[in-house]
Copies of this chain bind each other. A is one copy, B any other.
Amino acid sequence: MALLDTVVMRGLTVQGVLSPEDRALLLGLELNPRHISANEELWQERADADMFCVVKEGWAYSYRNLRNGSKQILKFYLPGDIIGMRDFGFTRRLSSAAMINQGVIYPFSYQQLFELFGRSSLAVGIMATAMRQQALLSERLIYLGQYAAHERLAHFLYEIYLRLKRIEAVEDNSFLMPLTQQLISDALGMSPVHVSRTFSMLREEGLVIRDRQHVKLPDPEALARLVEFNDSYIDELLPLTFAELLRASP
């Protein structure tokens, strides 16, 4: 299962828009096979992110270990899949990755991806933006999978708080949230009644004050501790190496 055989690249081939150079670049990603034994780690969360892997043989998976001892698997990778794209645009890995059984992978560097991108800064920027969106999606998946209702709601509110702060829509730890409890329940996969119950709990604990659309988090840090929110990456600029790679001559 080579990259050129994936649905997407086959589509581009059929449509006749992949130049011979493009095809050569793509094939060039699959030159250095590496044999991996079962259960071997490819990388750990927070390791430097500087390369991807195409899975040639075997199964792998990406996951996050949580404070409470549980772990959430984000994705299983089968032959032909690319591991590591999730981290593109971040300095460090957002999740760990490991082989399940024995297999073969082709590692390739960010540098090679930049060549695929034709060294277009904007392409890199758009891709990084998309991956940040996916990072938020992954966080939510983790919370839906592993945490109880009050943690999910706390996590949700804290995420909104951070995103609003970034666009300067938070003042004195308060913000406007035009969501009904019904909408929140649809987002968090719980019943509207339980959203209400859970808001009451958070209010009693002094973590959230809410009157209609007005929300105040008296102690955002306490909330962050409760939810194990990894906000280190959210406002992170692109890795410094990106500039060098973009400026490097082909």
Q: Which A residues have a C-beta under 8 Å from some C-beta of B?
A: 1, 6-12, 14-19, 22, 25-26, 59, 61, 63, 70-76, 78-82, 85-86, 88-89, 100-101, 113, 116-118, 120-134, 136-138, 140-141, 144-146, 160, 163-164, 166-167, 169, 178-179, 183, 186-189, 234-238, 240, 242-243, 246-247
Q: Which of B78, B101, B116 contacts A122 (CB 8 A)?
A: B116
Pairwise interchain contact A89-B126, C-beta atoms closer than 8 A: no
CB distance from A125 to the nearest CB of B (A): 5
**Docked-complex contact B1 and A167, CB < 8 angstroms:** yes
Least CB separation from A16: chain B residue: B243
- CA separation between A132 and B75, bound complex, in Å? 13
A6 — which chain B residues lie within 8 A by C-beta? 129
Q: Is the CB of A8 within 8 A of B240?
A: no
Q: A22-B121, A137-B138 are in contact. Are A130 and B127 (CB under 8 A)?
A: yes
Give how many copies assemble into the complex.
2
On whether the beta carbons of A122 and B130 are closer than 8 Å, the reply is no
Known: A71-B186, A136-B75. Is A17-B116 also a contact (CB below 8 A)? no
Judging by beta carbons under 8 Å apart, are B59 and A163 in contact?
no
Pick the contact of A17: B15, B163, B243 (CB < 8 A): B243
| Other contacts beyond A8-B128, A71-B186, A78-B167: 10, CB < 8 A | A12-B121, A12-B242, A26-B122, A81-B133, A86-B133, A116-B120, A120-B120, A127-B130, A130-B131, A130-B134
A8 touches which of B8, B18, B19, B129 (Cβ 8 Å): B129
A144 contact from B12, B134, B144, B186, Cβ within 8 A: B144
Q: Complex Cα distance A150/B223, Å?
A: 33
Check A15 against B242 for contact (C-beta < 8 Å): yes
Cβ of A17 and Cβ of B247 under 8 Å apart? yes
Residues of B within 8 A of A167 (CB): 1, 78-80
